[in-house]
């Protein structure tokens, strides 16, 4: 049964960064470099063109910082909201469950871009005068992204809750735990652990979704790069700079998503109870 695996598990100590992970990272970086080289060779441009950077670097830097800022704010908000809605979804109170379901169906059925655009334009009407500002539209757009991601995260949390087998709840009840206690000490820890891998995916999507802010002039890296692109078109400039810029943008997103995924993997490993997937699914 589980004993053979148990021996195997204990034989290989879990280092924080295993040898295999290092090899994979090396492969990825190496492959990435090869890819960059090939791209530059085929499409005839260079990532390190100083003329391009002279024109682009300010936009690139400020845009990247702004993207980071959006991620830093939207991600936590969406997690809290998504968790709350996911909980509501599995609640036995239809008062909570039905609105939550409608919310999820809505935000999963409509493209996020639509919500962003119309939230930033229609939203200001909702709020009284004193909140109005130039930044309001952007804030509402970012809120729309958070709401959209929260819907998907709600589904992830819901799946996490439902994956914890019923017997766990019964066992918690059998030793005399109150419903809040069994949720806090038994169900929640397991549900959260199960949710971490799919959440990692969703965070990557969220990071990419920040680019949607460009449509409402969000001044993050995608938007600013588009503006530089427009400038190059109007005032003339080496069109091949475009490739360099977009490759740089792609690399930014790569680094962001990779960082977040790696953090999530560390979280997963840190809280991993040996064999949890084997039993609870």
Partner 1 sequence: MIRVEGIHKHFGALHVLRGITFEVSKGEALVIIGPSGSGKSTLLRCINLLVEPDEGKVLIEGAQVNRPDIRPEWVRQQVGMVFQSFNLFTHLSVLENVMLGPVRVKGLQREAATAMAKELLARVGLAAKANAYPAELSGGQQQRVAIARALAVDPKAILFDEPTSALDPEYIREVLDVMAALARSGMTMIVVTHEMGFASSVSQRILFMDAGRIIEEGRPEQIFENPQQDRTRAFVSKILR
Partner 2 sequence: MAGTLKDQERKRARAFDMMAGIALTVGAIVVLVEIFVGRSGFDFGWVVDHLPGFLNATQLTFYVTTVAFGAGLGIGFLLGWARTARWIPLDKIVRDREQLREEGTSLVAARIGTIPVILLSMAKYLVRRIGDAYVEIIRGTPLFVQIVFIWSILLVNYPRLEQKELFAGLIALTANTGGYQSEIFRAGLQTVHSGQVEAGRAIGLSRWGAMRHVVLPQALRLIIPPLTNEYIGLLKASSLLIVIGVSELTGYGRNLAFTSFKIFEVFAVVTAIYLLITVPVSKIVQYFEVRYRIPGLGIQQPAEARV
Q: Residue 11 interacts with partner 1 (CB under 8 A)? A: no
Residue of 208, 230, 274, 277 interacting with partner 2 (CB under 8 A): 208
- Least CB distance from residue 225 to partner 2, whole Å? 8
For residue 222, the partner it binds in partner 1, partner 2, none, with Cβ less than 5 to 8 A by kind, is partner 2
For residue 110, the partner it binds in partner 2, partner 1, none, with Cβ less than 5 to 8 A by kind, is partner 2
Residue of 37, 41, 131, 258 interacting with partner 2 (CB under 8 A): 258
Closer residue to partner 2 in complex, CB, 161/253: 253
Q: Residue 190 interacts with partner 1 (CB under 8 A)? A: yes
HSE (side-chain half, CA atoms, 13 Å) at 229: 13
Residue of 87, 209, 218, 260 interacting with partner 2 (CB under 8 A): 209
Distance CA 200, CA 152 (A): 12
The residues, ordered by sequence, that sit 6+ positions from 276 with a Cβ below 8 Å of its Cβ are 190, 193, 194
Cβ-defined contacts of 139-142 (< 8 Å, 24+) = 141/116, 141/117, 141/212, 141/213, 141/216, 141/218, 142/70, 142/73, 142/74, 142/213, 142/218
For residue 178, the partner it binds in partner 1, partner 2, none, with Cβ less than 5 to 8 A by kind, is partner 1
Count the Cβ atoms, other than its own, within 10 Å of residue 248. 18
Residue of 61, 110, 171, 273 interacting with partner 2 (CB under 8 A): 110
Q: Residue 121 interacts with partner 2 (CB under 8 A)? A: yes
Q: How far is CA 271 from CA 178, 194, 206, 265, in A?
A: 25, 11, 24, 10
Q: Residue 280 interacts with partner 2 (CB under 8 A)? A: no
Closer residue to partner 1 in complex, CB, 123/198: 198
Closer residue to partner 2 in complex, CB, 75/212: 212
Distance CA 208, CA 212 (A): 8
Residues interacting with partner 2, by CB under 8 A? Answer: 27-28, 31-32, 35, 43, 93-99, 102, 105-106, 108-114, 117-118, 121-122, 125-126, 148-149, 152, 155-156, 159, 198, 201-202, 204-205, 208-209, 211-212, 214-215, 222, 226, 229, 239-240, 242-243, 246, 249-250, 253-254, 257-258
């Amino acid at each position: 049964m589980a004993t053979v695996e148990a021996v195997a598990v204990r034989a290989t100590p879990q280092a924080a960064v295993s040898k295999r992970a290092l090899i994979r990272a090396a492969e990825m970086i190496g492959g990435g470099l090869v890819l960059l080289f090939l791209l530059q060779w085929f499409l005839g441009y260079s990532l390190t063109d100083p003329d391009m950077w002279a024109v682009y670097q300010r936009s690139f830097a400020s845009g990247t910082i702004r993207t980071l800022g959006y991620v830093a704010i939207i991600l936590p908000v969406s997690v809290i909201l998504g968790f709350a809605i996911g909980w509501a979804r599995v609640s036995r109170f239809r008062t909570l469950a039905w609105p939550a379901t409608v919310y999820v169906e809505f935000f999963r059925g409509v493209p996020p871009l639509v919500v962003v655009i119309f939230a930033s334009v229609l939203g200001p009407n909702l709020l009284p005068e004193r909140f109005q500002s130039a930044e309001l539209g952007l804030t509402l757009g970012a809120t729309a992204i958070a709401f959209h991601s929260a819907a998907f995260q709600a589904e992830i949390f819901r799946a996490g809750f439902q994956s914890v087998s019923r017997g766990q709840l019964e066992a918690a009840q059998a030793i005399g735990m109150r419903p809040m206690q069994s949720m806090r000490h038994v169900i929640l820890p397991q549900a959260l652990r199960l949710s971490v891998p799919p959440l990692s995916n969703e965070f990557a999507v969220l990071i990419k979704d920040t680019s949607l802010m460009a449509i409402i002039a969000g001044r993050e890296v995608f938007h600013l790069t588009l503006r530089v692109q427009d400038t190059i078109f109007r005032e003339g400039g080496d069109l091949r700079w475009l490739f360099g810029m977009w490759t740089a943008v792609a690399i930014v997103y790569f680094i962001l998503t990779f960082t977040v995924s790696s953090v999530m993997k560390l979280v997963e490993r840190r809280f991993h109870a040996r064999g949890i997937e084997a039993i609870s699914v």
